[in-house]
Amino acid sequence: MFKKWSKTPAFIKKIVYKWVWDIPKADKKIFLTFDDGPIPDVTEWVLDVLKEEKINATFFCIGANIEKHQAIFERIKKEGHQTGNHTWNHLNGWNTKTATYIENIQLVAKYLPEQKLFRPPYGKLTLNQGYKIRKLGYKIIMWDVLSYDFDPKTSPEECLNYVISASTNGSIIVFHDSLKAAENMKFALPKVIKHFKKKGYSFGILH
């Protein structure tokens, strides 16, 4: 996705309309999501911020990271946040055979036995993969706003501006609780929360 597309264009949402890009009926509510954790320090920092602000979010977790950091994963759930499947080891769907991709998703299911939210790493998923994932009962959760916190060419101030300028009622916003995104995310996240709280927004979790 090009950087100018910090907000997902409407025509893409119309083409792949069975995937969830935003929550259009939300009333002054936005949805914070975090990809790639759980990661020590980074995810814990995010959880501390969310706890202090008394809001909840949705974490799309990598299976291998759940296995390595189960205590952090349990904290995510204990503190009332939603969790979703982000493959076992961050696979790119465009470069992966469908059968292999589905198997990779199912490896994560042992940690998320009742959870049926899925977000493809990189946002890269073939239509056939998407069809089969949905047949397994998953909702495919994409995004309305991409923060670009992971991009080394994006400054912390740009990351903040992308989110604030593009987010509206029902926006699903993507941050990353990963090491490479940490600097930008830690700068932007508290300011995003305070900005939208001041404007009367609440923060929801995905279902």
pLDDT in tens, 103-116: 999 999 999 988 89
Condensed to tens digits (0 to 9), the pLDDT of residues 95-142 reads 999 999 999 999 999 999 888 999 999 999 999 999 999 999 999 999
Packing angle between helix 70-78 and helix 42-53, nearest 10 degrees?
10
Global pTM exceeds 0.85: yes
Write a three-state SS string for the chain: CCHHHCECCHHHHHHCCCCECECCCCCCEEEEEEECCCCCCHHHHHHHHHHHHCCCCEEEECHHHHHHCHHHHHHHHHCCCEEEECCCCCCCHHHCCHHHHHHHHHHHCCCCCCCCEECCHHHCCCHHHHHHHHHCCCEEECCCEECCCCCCCCCHHHHHHHHHHHCCCCEEEEEECCCCCHHHHHHHHHHHHHHHHHCCCEECCCC
Catalytic position from the list 35, 36, 144, 177? 35
User: Has 86 been annotated as catalytic?
Assistant: no
Condensed to tens digits (0 to 9), the pLDDT of residues 30-72 reads 999 999 999 999 999 999 999 999 999 999 999 999 999 999 9
User: Has 48 been annotated as catalytic?
Assistant: no
Catalytic position from the list 69, 144, 176, 177? 176
Report the pLDDT averaged over residues 156-172.
96
Q: Which domains does the chain have, with CATH numbers?
A: 14-203 (3.20.20.370)
